[in-house]
Amino acid sequence: MNAARKLLDSRPSRRSFAICALGSLLIGALGLVPWGYESSQFVFEVLILAGVAVSWNVLGGFAGQLSLGHAALFGAGAYFAGTLARTQQVAVPLLLLGAMVGGVLVGCIFALCFRARGAYFAILTLALTAVLHQIVAEYAPGKNDGISFDVFSATSTAPLKYAAGGVGLSVLICWAVTRSRLGMAWRAIRIDVDAARALGVGDLAARIGALMVSSALAGFFGGVYALNLGYLDPPTAFAPTWLLIPLLATVLGGAGTLVGPLVGALLWTSIAHAFPGTWFGGGTAYILEGALLILITLAVKQGVWGVVVQLWNRLTDGSRWWTARRRASSSDVSHEALR
């Protein structure tokens, strides 16, 4: 056993908590570094993506419910924070609290989707997101034209601080929850929902718990993103970006691990920035991202972070990793894949 392995799947222990707390503090400290303009944009993008990815990871990684609905949770947070900022004079933390409440409220609607499983669950969350997008475009303040508000000045470093602090706290929350009874239930239903039910794990309660944690986090980062942007329209808030990239970044980094989403977010944003274009980057970035995803899902399965951990283990085991065979068979690989 070594530290990295412990961080991944050890039982509650001081050492693992210490490592996680230190990591969270380091992430939070990113908000205090005096970045230049260019790099602060990059760091902010990484942090927002990491935050939504951590949120997606709670539902899609730890609890194993493949969600395509995070754009709606993110958008709800963004719209709640934006509308509050436009109409009320309240402190930023309260705005972000509003964003989290917004995320959770929309999360309650998404609880409907638990009627379905697997691919049906995924497509249900996707369709519900599309409905909510159009409803906001028709009835929310500003309708299709969107709303604008003025919370942060253009040069303010506060959004970066909120994003960094938020990601740090989210990681700590994930650490705590995955080691609680609820987190154990997530692991059980992810591996085999029927077996878990037979053993008396309340799968619906566990899934709803995951959804609530996930939607509060997604709402928070939606709020930070919107307040930093200063304006909001439905295509921005509900962009497919927000349902796709967190999912893809998490799978890239390693779904169901604490560090995976962070690694994935950093990797994804770096690729997109190396070949500038949209959030996905230019054409070359698309090709790289697509190829990486195919490779990960096809062969590596536990994501980039999983590979790092594996290599680390092999090195510290004293065995040579390049001679060691992969022992996992295809049946337990699918379980491993989401760990």
Alpha-carbon gap, residue 164 to 31, rounded angstroms: 5
Residue 276 sits in the site that holds other proteins (CB under 8 A): no
Residue 244 sits in the site that holds other proteins (CB under 8 A): yes
Residue 300 sits in the site that holds other proteins (CB under 8 A): no
Residue 328 sits in the site that holds other proteins (CB under 8 A): no
- Asked whether 199 and 184 are in contact (CB, 8 A), the reply is no
Instruction: Specify the residue for token string 């944003």.
Output: 269
- Asked whether 132 and 79 are in contact (CB, 8 A), the reply is no
Rank residues 201 and 337 by Cβ distance to other proteins and give the closer one. Answer: 337
Residue 247 sits in the site that holds other proteins (CB under 8 A): yes
- Asked whether 285 and 303 are in contact (CB, 8 A), the reply is no
- Asked whether 226 and 237 are in contact (CB, 8 A), the reply is yes
**Stretch in the footprint of other proteins (CB under 8 A) among 12-20, 24-32, 211-219, 280-288:** 280-288
- x/- binding map, residues 127-156, to other proteins, per CB under 8 A? xx-xx-xxx-xx-----x------------
Task: Please pick, from the candidates 174, 292, 304, 309, the single residue that binds other proteins as defined by CB under 8 A.
Answer: 292
Question: Structure tokens of 130?
Answer: 């599309």
Torsion of CA 45, 97, 248, 173, to 10 degrees: 110
Instruction: Specify the residue for token string 């691919």.
Output: 119
* Residue 60 beta carbon to other proteins: minimum distance, rounded to whole angstroms: 8
* Residue 37 beta carbon to other proteins: minimum distance, rounded to whole angstroms: 26
Rank residues 24 and 67 by Cβ distance to other proteins and give the closer one. Answer: 67
* Residue 243 beta carbon to other proteins: minimum distance, rounded to whole angstroms: 10
Residue 63 sits in the site that holds other proteins (CB under 8 A): no
In the three-class reduction of DSSP (H, G, I as helix; E, B as strand; rest coil), residue 147 is classed as strand
Q: List the one residue out of 237, 279, 241, 244 whose CA is nearest residue 72.
A: 237
Alpha-carbon gap, residue 41 to 315, rounded angstroms: 37
Which positions touch other proteins (CB under 8 A)?
A: 64, 66, 112, 115-116, 118-120, 122-124, 126-128, 130-131, 133-135, 137-138, 144, 240, 244, 247-248, 251, 277, 280, 282-294, 296-298, 301, 330-331, 333-334, 337-338
